[in-house]
A and B are shown apart, each in its own frame.
Chain A
Amino acid sequence: MRLELVRRPEQSRRMAMLSPLLAIALTLVSGAILFAALGHDPVRALGVYFIEPLTTSWSVQELLVKATPLVMIAVGLAICYLSNNWNIGAEGQFTFGAIAGSGVALSLNSWDSGLLLPLMLVAGILGGMAWAAIPAFLKTRFNTNEILTSLMLVYVAQLLLDWLVRGPWRDPGGYNFPESEVFSDAATMPLLIAGSRLHIGAVFAVLAVVVAAIMLGATLKGFEIRVLGQAPKAGSFAGFSRTRLTVFAFLLSGGLAGLAGISEVSGTIGQLRPTISPGYGFAAIIVAFLGRLNPIGILVAGLLLALSYLGGEAAQVSLGISDKITKVFQGMLLIYVLACDTFILYRPRLVRANPTGEAAHGRA
């Protein structure tokens, strides 16, 4: 017996809905096996990992806090991937956005004005855009592979941040810790729920989802993105410019990643540190694909990935399992999503190993 793929005449809408669910199910099964192999009761471990974080209001708020940057970044990445621009450097754009916004906050830290925060956010967006503009410019001007350049700039941005918090931006009163001053109240994102860490960044994330959904579904720009992504020649036949769209997609995703970066620093952390992200920029790639590059899907997928971070922390506390398992879950999830996506366009079929020998006897 051999598995063969038969191309469907059209995409299966049912599979398109089912594929992420199937991927999640497969990840859970694999997770159970993994937990069992590590010597834990798989049912209990999965419960601790995926259910417990949803049972207290504190952790649900925390879920939203973690989903905020993931969703914001993934929406931008989806626009990139739909238009066939492989921006994988969102982590760097996030970091540089955070640097730019924090630069404003730190230099005006004593300025108690309602304008400070908007100014920081704009700086964060512009910072992310600037960082994303580099691979976009190199791609459109010099034909340089954007995957590699955008990724290399992640390291550069992280090293830059490292230098800043250990060097010029280190808090002089901070006992030599590699941290910046704590942001003033005027430079801190307002909270949505008092006492929690949930800040208005979550609103920006939802807003990004809504705007992107409308753009992709109802506007000519969205149509252009899909056409140039699927069939570049058809796109230029339609009169769309690949170059302009590449710049657009990178600036948009860079801007969103930068906004996520400054929101995270200003809303969740409150100061600059050498590490400001547990890999949100990379996890957002998974969010984008798990959400089928659809903004609404991304909103759901962002919550799931956020859950995987919380679950990892919970598993470490309750079960003594390393939180490193989080990234294993995330990686597995993406692998399964990509595998399941195959069946949107292909139908699996079992065939006998040797078609000629048997079949010669005639057909039913």
Chain B
Amino acid sequence: MNAEARHTDTGSEAAKPANSQPTLLEARGLTKAFGDFLACDHIDFSIRRGEIHALLGENGAGKSTFVKMLYGALQPTSGEIRWKGEPVSIDNPATARRLGIGMVFQHFSLFDVLTVAENIALALAGKVGPGALAERIRTVSRDYGLPLDPMSIVADLSVGERQRVEIVRCLLQEPDLIIMDEPTSVLTPHEAEDLFRTLARLTGEGVAILYISHRLEEVKRLCHAATILRHGKVVGSCDPAGETPASLARMMVGADVREVRHREQARLDMPVRLELKHLSLPPAGPFSVPLVEIDLAVRGGEVVAIAGVAGNGQGELFDALSGERPLHDRGALVIDGHEAGRMSVGARRRLGAAFVPEERLGHAAVPGLKLSENVVLTRHGEHHVVRGGFLKGGARAIADRVVESFDVRKSHRDPEARSLSGGNLQKFVVGREIDRQPGVLVVSQPTWGVDAGASADIRQALVDLARAGSAVLVISQDLDEIFEVADRIAVVSRGRLSAPVPAATTSRDDIGLLMGGIGHGGEGASDAA
């Protein structure tokens, strides 16, 4: 289990120049307009056989739109795509697959209720008998080290296994080009290494990989070339091996990205403000994870982060902390000395706790309501917002204040939440809670899908809140974020929480092992292997 050795392995793979190989796909002046908005603006791009080519850019830079055009899911407004030298019109994903272009989606394009084999059959053009198909799936998954049972139901698979289904589905089409959208964002570091090995083998066979990632370390290690998009335009291309993550980030953002300033270290003598004692919760439904005996204490002044792969109980833990699913044991949750386990959301807020859920639209905010109305959502307990059951004007003032101090960009004074970009809405929902100066803040995925500038602002605000004396608990799948903000880190895996460790004395690899379930004894370890 030597991760370092593997680093150098794939590192040397990446260094191998692919210049001798012929060009596989070329885009010339590819443009996509949505109304007046140019999502992609005259993009020139080419990729060779056997090349791993990174596509970099912030959220909204046009990466998704660009690859959707290559995969036939969107039609270009103008421009040309050449495939093996010939101009082609890719009017449908089926056409793309016939040409030899496959895609592994970030938010998988799988069907939960169907079997692995049925999921794969849906993407294959010809008629393949179920028996023959299962056999082909077994062969390919064995050859590429992607173990899969064709008869299992997708809903029962882990996130990593689901990605395997996507990849195997792609491979069965014998593609020349595979587009991968953020493939490692859902994987443990260990699973990511497995993926890199598969990629190395594919490029060895002459397959080209178009690789979208925001993990710049990974891009530097893995990719032979990179094209950088900003506001729908190509703003540069480079050999990532010769760049640093910081220089890549600068190209993406167009400016230096601020690092989070930790003005001072967290003090260890502050009182505990949020405490979880043997917190357990049965699963809410068929696809839900039970929480098992979770213990954690967060002191005022510190940021504690909970790392983990998606679907290991993060959502359930958030609901238990916020009170959306109250606990049976009132002592299992203590907020500022008050036993709050059986309290409602509102009662917990009155104790000074605040919460920011992962899903911005539909959970943290109501899409069709104005910003000022969305203030009422979490702050109707304050008498200048609601008095005697009647709405007062206070929400408007709060909305203006949050917009001002968190630099929320919007079209007019009080727009509907849905009209804001992801980053601006996230700043708003985080700002709405921080504006209260809560004693305890629990926030899930604070910068998921948020551009670098807004991420930096949000992370800084979390650290500042903690340093002002609040207890901040961050639930996140993004290790970069966790190491940026956290004083201590714990890992959630299958509804259990590891003991928190100081961020300063732990490494990403240690956290990665815990994320894969290692450290909880034999059961988890054997599954991760």
A residues whose Cβ falls under 8 Å from a Cβ of B: 6, 9-11, 218-221, 223, 226-227, 230-231, 233-234, 236-239, 349, 355-357, 359-363
Contact = CB atoms under 8 A, between A and B. Distances in A.
B377 A237 contact: yes
Given A6-B35, A237-B377, A238-B380, A230 B355 contact: no
B126 interface: no
Contacts of B373: 223
B357 interface: yes
B369 A220 contact: no
A223 B357 contact: no
Interface stretch (B201-209, B254-262, B302-310, B344-352): B344-352
Nearest to B387: A220
B391 A223 contact: yes
B89 interface: yes
B478 interface: no
Given A360-B78, A360-B80, A363-B77, A236 B364 contact: no
B89 A234 contact: no
Interface residues of B, number: 44
A129 B171 CA distance: 61
6 contacts: A9-B418, A220-B386, A223-B380, A230-B366, A359-B77, A363-B77
Nearest to B74: A355
Given A220-B390, A223-B380, A239-B344, A356 B368 contact: no
A59 to B, nearest CB: 40
B293 interface: no
A213 to B, nearest CB: 14
Given A237-B324, A359-B78, 8 more contacts: A9-B416, A11-B416, A218-B391, A219-B391, A234-B365, A234-B366, A234-B377, A356-B89
A202 B487 CA distance: 66
Contact of B364 (A6, A219, A237): A237
Nearest to B344: A239
B416 A219 contact: no
B64 interface: no
Interface string B417-454: 01100000000000000000000000000000000000
Contact of B367 (A220, A231, A349, A362): A231
B363 A362 contact: no
A238 B76 CA distance: 42
Contacts of B364: 234, 237
A223 B377 CA distance: 9
Contacts of B377: 227, 234, 237-238
A233 B359 contact: yes
Contacts of B416: 9-11
A141 B89 CA distance: 55
B418 A10 contact: yes
B184 interface: no
A236 B362 contact: no
Nearest to B357: A237
B31 interface: yes
B139 interface: no
A191 B418 CA distance: 50
Nearest to B318: A237
B298 interface: no
A11 B368 contact: yes
